[in-house]
Each structure stands twice: as structure tokens, then as C-alpha cells.
Amino acid sequence: MEVSFLELKSKQVINTVDGKCLGHITDVIFDVVTACTLGFIVPQPNQGFWGMFRSNRELFIPYNCVCKIGVDVILVELYIDETPPQSKPPQSRDRGRPNVITLDNGKYTKQR
């Protein structure tokens, strides 16, 4: 199947993991020695406020993560690490006995 860069650029990239639209392809990366496509570049999602204050961060999608290139969209399976900021550890209110505070799956829990 032959596809030009202009055709790829007009297609939306959809992540099948979470169903989010990642945007449109802005660049294609390929290896000149082997003449193989390595991946695509799309603007990183959730950047900026109404397009203002947008940084120049980009997201690289390896070609082996591409599931299907269709007529209208490109489906990719990409696991983007979006870890929420960790909460602050709970403060000890008992002055008598010490509390043990453990971190489990990104959340702090208090044990006695």
C-alpha cells in the first residue's frame, strides 16, 4: 500500500487504548539506510490553553504501534504514562503513638 505524506497528514490519529484523538501527523521519521519507516510525530495531547501557551513538545509514535491505516483515521495502540500528581502524606494527629505511613499504588495510607 502506498500513501503519500500529504494523505497521512490529513488523517486523524486515534489511540485505541483510551479512545482519544492524538491529532494529525506533523512528521514522519524513517531510516535512510534501511528505507524503513520508524514512526510518526504528532503534537503532544493536552498541551496549552486554547492553543495558547503551547509548548513545542511532540509525541513519537513507533510504527510497530500502528494498528491500522484507514481511509479517514490511523489507529494506534499507545500507552501514554499519565500519572496524576501524588497526594500529600496524611499528617499525624495522635501525639502519643507513632503512625506508619505507607505509599501504595500512588496513594498514602496511615496505619497504626
Q: What is the CATH number of the domain that holds 64?
A: 2.30.30.240
What confidence tens digit (pLDDT) does each residue in 67-92 have?
A: 999 999 999 998 876 655 555 555 55
Is 99 a domain residue? no
Q: How confident is the model at residue 97 (pLDDT cuts 50, 70, 90)?
A: low
> By the 8 A CB rule, do 44 and 27 touch?
no
Question: How many domains does the structure of the chain reveal?
Answer: 1
What is the separation of C-alpha 64 from the centre of its chain, rounded to a whole number of angstroms? 16
Q: How confident is the model at residue 35 (pLDDT cuts 50, 70, 90)?
A: confident
Bridge partner residues of 62 (DSSP) = 39
What span, in angstroms and rounded, lies between the C-alpha atoms of 69 and 13?
A: 9
Mean local confidence (pLDDT), 29-43: 89
Mean local confidence (pLDDT), 85-108: 56
Is 96 a domain residue? no
Is 54 a domain residue? yes
* Grid cell at residue 38: 520508524
- Give the pLDDT confidence score for residue 53 in this predicted structure: 55
Residue 7: its H or E element? helix 5-9
Is 84 a domain residue? no
Q: What pTM value is reported for the model?
A: 0.62
Domain span at residue 39 reads 5-76
Is 105 a domain residue? no
